[in-house]
Structures are given as structure tokens and as C-alpha cells.
Structure 1
Amino acid sequence: MTEPQVTRFDTRADCEAAFRACLAASHARLEMFDPDFAVYPLGASDVDALLRAFLERGGELRLAMHASAHIERHYPRFLRLLRDYGHRIECRTTDRSLAGLTDSFCIGDGVHIVRRFHSDHMRGEAALDAPAATEVPRERFAAIWEASRPGLAPTTTGL
């Protein structure tokens, strides 16, 4: 195992760069939580290419969010990706009881993480090859996932 690489960020550009690095380093599973995914560049063509390559290799993507409206309105590429790889992508929305959760994170393969401490701010950190840094967020994601319900679907009928 390589030495963990931890970087702090406080700008949108640095957050997006850390997110792209996490995507590129991940091979099997991506688990993401954000209130609405407005900051994550899920609609960018290069992110679409990274996600397609990840999914073609057999990767699985799980997104948990409070609301999917931003994705539905602003990320047509992601909606196509969801339609094309719906068998490898699952999106869930949280219960009202979790509406107070304001952090944001992306966990790759249980060893990489990009984490914003509060979804209203860009301040956060990224750690690659750092399984210890992902331990608590993985448990947190599992609890959020368990308390959420199916959300964004590949088709308008949910099929």
C-alpha cells in the first residue's frame, strides 16, 4: 500500500479536482452523499467519461441525496449515464428525518475520500489510499443508505 495522500481544499476548483482524482483512482465502488450534488460536476463531459470507464470495468455507483431536482435539471449527461448503466447505479433520497445532514462526501473503494465539512462551504479535504480516513464516513454512508428510499430512476416510470 502506498503512503496516504491528504490534501485540504477551500475552493470549488480544488474540490472538483479532488473529486476527479477520487473517481480516477476508484475501480469497484463509489459511494456519495450530498444534499443535492450541485457542487459535484456530474454533468461535465470529462466526469461522464471517467464514470463510464468506471462502470464499464464493473464498478458500482451509489448516490444518496436529500433532493434530486438539481441533477434532473442540470445534468443530462448523468441522466443518460443512469439510463445506460442503471444496473450499476443506484440513487436514493433521504427521509425528512435526515434533512439536517449538511456534510458531503465521495468514498472510492473504501480507501479514497473527498469530504466537504459542510455543504454550504467549499472547505474540505481529500485523502487517497487512506482507508483509516474513510472508516467513519463509510459507516455514516451505510446508515444514510439504510434510512433512505429509492429516488432518481433511469426512466420516468422508474423501470
Structure 2
Amino acid sequence: MNSELITNWGHHDQSLRKILELATQSLRIFDEDLSKLKLEQTENAELLRRFLGADRQHILCIVVRNAEPFRRESPRLMSLLTLFPQNMTIHESPPHLASLSDSLVIADDRHALVRFHKDGARSKTIIDDAEQCKPYVNRFEDILKEGGEQICASTLGL
């Protein structure tokens, strides 16, 4: 069991990379708009690409409260969605969840980065502890069950 409190953005960013590196089967991400997670940075996007490309069974499921910044400012992630549509999904949560202010990054249901509020770096990292991650996994599943709009890599139309 390994849990650590984080209070600054530098340590938050390092912890995120560590969680991404530890993922071997699944990644679940819930966030305001992904901007503070910096998944669009080259190193993080490459970790995601390697994770998705390593096995067709690997799953990356992202839920955002506001998808507009993702659509406008995330070409690397949009490219991953195009390359790996079979194992990557992105959803925009329904409006009634707009008041949620936390952020979750969960790898393999055993490792997690939990940011307590969207505007601050105060977070908790959990490494190799499925029991401690279980409430966050359940929270993510509950959020996903609420529905919302699935984001596509291509624009549908005539």
C-alpha cells in the first residue's frame, strides 16, 4: 500500500506520468477538460500512444465535463482517438454533472491520481492498492453510467 498527498503542480505532473507508466490494462480518466492534466504534452501523449498500441485489449476511457477545449486544443489526443477507436473512448458528461469538481486518473483499478478540486494541485496518489482505489473506480463507473455525448474523431454529416 502506497498513498501520498500532493500539494504542488510539479509533483502532480510527476505523479500523473507515473500512473500513466504503470497502466498495463486500463486507464480511466475523469476531468473538467483535460487541460490541467496536460495529456496533450508530447511525453504524456506518447505514453498514451504506447499504452494503446501495446495491446488491442487495452482500454482508455475518458469522461470530461467540458469537451470544447478538447475539441479545439488536443490534436495529439484526437489523433489517438482516430488511430485507436477500438480501445479509446471520450465522453462529455451530461449537464447535471457540471457541479462535480474533482479529477480522477485510474490505472488498472490499482493505481490512481485523485485531484480534490479542479482548480488546485492538492491531490492524492495511490500506488498498487486496489482496495484504496475501489471507491474511485466505483465513482468513475457511476459518472460514466450517467450518459452524455460520445466524442468522435471525425465530424459526421453530409
TM-score bracket for the superposition, by shorter chain length: over 0.9
The equivalent residue for 1:83 is: 82
How far 1:36 moved relative to its partner?
1.1
The equivalent residue for 1:54 is: 51
Q: Is the 8 A contact 1:68 1:151 kept in 2?
A: no
CA-based RMSD of the aligned residues comes to 1.3
SS in structure 1 opposite 2:141?
helix
> Which deviates further from its counterpart, 106-115 or 55-64?
55-64
Task: Give the counterpart letter for 1:102 in structure 2.
Answer: S
SS in structure 2 opposite 1:119?
coil
Task: Give the counterpart letter for 2:125 in structure 1.
Answer: A
Task: Give the counterpart letter for 1:51 in structure 2.
Answer: L
Task: Give the counterpart letter for 1:27 in structure 2.
Answer: T
How far 1:7 moved relative to its partner?
2.0
Q: What does 1:92-103 correspond to in 2, within 5 Å?
A: 92-103=91-102
How far 1:118 moved relative to its partner?
0.8
Unpaired segments of 5 or more residues in structure 2? none
SS in structure 1 opposite 2:148?
strand
TM-score, normalising length: structure 1? 0.92
How far 1:148 moved relative to its partner?
2.1
Are residue 31 (structure 1) and residue 28 (structure 2) matched? yes
Are residue 136 (structure 1) and residue 135 (structure 2) matched? yes
Are residue 105 (structure 1) and residue 104 (structure 2) matched? yes
The equivalent residue for 2:120 is: 121
CA distance in 1, matches of 2:67, 2:52: 21
CA distance in 2, matches of 1:11, 1:75: 24
Task: Give the counterpart letter for 2:8 in structure 1.
Answer: T
How far 1:20 moved relative to its partner?
0.7
How far 1:149 moved relative to its partner?
2.2
1:75-127 Cα offsets, whole Å, 9 max, x none, are: 21111111111111111111111111111010100000000011111101111
The equivalent residue for 2:10 is: 13
1:41-70 Cα offsets, whole Å, 9 max, x none, are: 111111111111111122110001111111
The sequence identity of aligned pairs, in percent, is 24
Task: Give the counterpart letter for 2:48 in structure 1.
Answer: L
CA distance in 2, matches of 1:82, 1:16: 23
**How many pairs does the alignment contain?**
155
Task: Give the counterpart letter for 1:147 in structure 2.
Answer: E
The equivalent residue for 1:70 is: 69
Q: Is the 8 A contact 2:94 2:149 kept in 1?
A: no
SS in structure 1 opposite 2:124?
strand
Unpaired segments of 5 or more residues in structure 1? none
CA distance in 1, matches of 2:71, 2:35: 11
Task: Give the counterpart letter for 2:154 in structure 1.
Answer: T
SS in structure 2 opposite 1:148?
coil
